[in-house]
């Protein structure tokens, strides 16, 4: 289609500027929801600012062991916690192919065939349509296997409340739950008329609230997946988190997870959208559940990879040009616009293609 090949032609120019590293090169934002690994992965140190934390996140998930960096792991905490990152180039949508991978730490159980440790994160993508180099444009969810199921909650909203350091600690004396040392640690309330707590355990004694955040409340919105855990032991000693079929981060072992397709993108209303490429990727924890001594379900991210960083951009030569070099306008998604107004557009006239700003 003409609308796709034109947009890809613009991308080729960007590709020629510098070599395309297949691994994550930039972290734009990071805000975990409260959880037992927050302030540990990465480690918060007294005086750290958000800029310090972003640098630590980059140390953990950018690059690859083979190119001089050794990715580690970051936690996203409870539902809604997220990270936003990108590569040193746009990720191209190659038809029929998986476009990128996100690495996590999911693994199979040797006692259950349907799961193991599976803490799924929803993946969203965005294009830099305003060309300012930051992820402040429209986001599109990659609709995975659970997207259309009735048990999935769209437009879910949850608020966490920072615990008062001087409050009375509610420890549970039940010996079956002696690993919990504060049952009402971080309160949460959602838009489904439910409330609960991120409980604190004896295994992680640091603050579960992101210490570089001064706010006393944090609110997240997104799609909530159905709880995927069950107590296989029956006594709280062994939990299994079921694998979802496809389309989520930290959902299957890295060696078995094929990756993500940009073709799965949908807008906020669930309509499929066609994206020739993406510039930013967001991952957020997508389940709100607590699994006994394991704690909250928290997506972890260990890195990411563009599966075709030097993709051959085909079809540019197929663009049909009128003999009289008439002017045509396209938006940054490659869609032809008949009467453009107020925005950034691609102007094509004969063999010349330029980016212009129209203000009326």
CB 91 within 8 A of CB 27: no
Instruction: Tell me the pLDDT tens digit for each residue of 122-180.
Output: 999 999 999 899 999 999 999 999 999 999 999 999 999 999 988 888 776 666 667 88
Least confident segment among 18-32, 73-87, 302-316: 302-316
Q: Are 123 and 274 in contact (CB under 8 A)?
A: no
The pLDDT assigned to 14 comes to 36
Task: Name every residue whose Cβ is closer than 8 Å to that of residue 267 and which is 6 or more positions away in sequence.
Answer: 138, 140, 273
What distance in Å separates the CA atoms of residue 9 and residue 7, rounded to the nearest whole number? Answer: 5
pLDDT band at 342 (very low <50, low <70, confident <90, very high): confident
pLDDT for residue 66: 59
Q: Is 251 exposed, middle or buried (0-12, 13-18, 19+ CB in 10 A)?
A: buried
Instruction: Name the least confident of 107-121, 216-230, 243-257, 315-329.
Output: 315-329
Predicted confidence at residue 354, as pLDDT, reads 67
Strand partners, 301: 74
Q: What is the pLDDT of residue 323?
A: 44
The whole-number pLDDT of residue 350 equals 55
Say which residue, 177 or 53, is predicted with more confidence.
53
β-bridge mates for residue 284, sequence order: 82, 122
Summarize the confidence of residues 258-286 as an average pLDDT. Answer: 96
- Of 5-19, 120-134, 143-157, 317-331, the poorest mean pLDDT is in 5-19
Nearest-5° angle of CA 58, CA 61, CA 66? 115
The pTM is what?
A: 0.82
């Amino acid at each position: 289609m003409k609308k796709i090949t034109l947009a890809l032609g613009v991308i080729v120019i960007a590709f020629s500027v510098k070599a395309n590293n297949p691994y994550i090169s930039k972290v734009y934002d990071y805000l975990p929801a409260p959880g037992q690994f927050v302030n540990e992965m990465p480690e918060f140190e007294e005086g750290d600012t958000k800029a310090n934390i972003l640098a630590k996140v980059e140390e953990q998930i950018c690059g690859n062991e083979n190119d001089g960096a050794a990715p580690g792991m970051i936690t996203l905490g409870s539902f809604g916690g997220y990270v936003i990152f990108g590569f040193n180039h746009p990720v191209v949508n190659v038809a029929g192919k998986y476009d990128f991978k996100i690495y996590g730490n999911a693994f199979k159980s040797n006692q259950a065939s349907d799961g193991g440790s599976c803490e799924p994160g929803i993946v969203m993508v965005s294009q830099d349509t305003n060309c300012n180099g930051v992820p402040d444009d429209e986001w599109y969810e990659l609709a995975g296997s659970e997207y259309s199921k009735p048990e999935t909650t769209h437009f879910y909203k949850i608020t966490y409340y920072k615990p008062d350091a001087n409050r009375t600690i509610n420890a549970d004396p039940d010996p079956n739950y002696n690993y919990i040392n504060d049952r009402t640690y971080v309160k949460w309330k959602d838009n489904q008329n439910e409330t609960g707590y991120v409980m604190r355990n004896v295994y992680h004694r640091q603050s579960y609230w992101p210490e570089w955040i001064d706010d006393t409340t944090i609110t997240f919105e997104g799609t909530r997946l159905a709880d995927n855990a069950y107590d296989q032991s029956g006594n709280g000693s062994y939990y299994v988190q079921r694998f979802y079929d496809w389309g989520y981060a930290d959902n299957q072992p890295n060696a078995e997870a094929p990756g993500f397709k940009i073709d799965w993108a949908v807008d906020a209303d669930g309509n499929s959208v066609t994206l020739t490429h993406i510039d930013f990727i967001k991952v957020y924890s997508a389940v709100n559940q607590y699994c006994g001594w394991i704690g909250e379900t928290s997506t972890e991210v260990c890195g990411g990879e563009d599966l075709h960083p030097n993709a051959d951009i085909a079809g540019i030569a197929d663009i049909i040009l009128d003999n009289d070099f008439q002017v045509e306008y396209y938006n940054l998604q490659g869609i032809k616009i008949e009467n453009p107004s107020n925005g950034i557009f691609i102007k094509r006239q004969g063999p010349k293609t330029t980016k212009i700003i129209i203000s009326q």
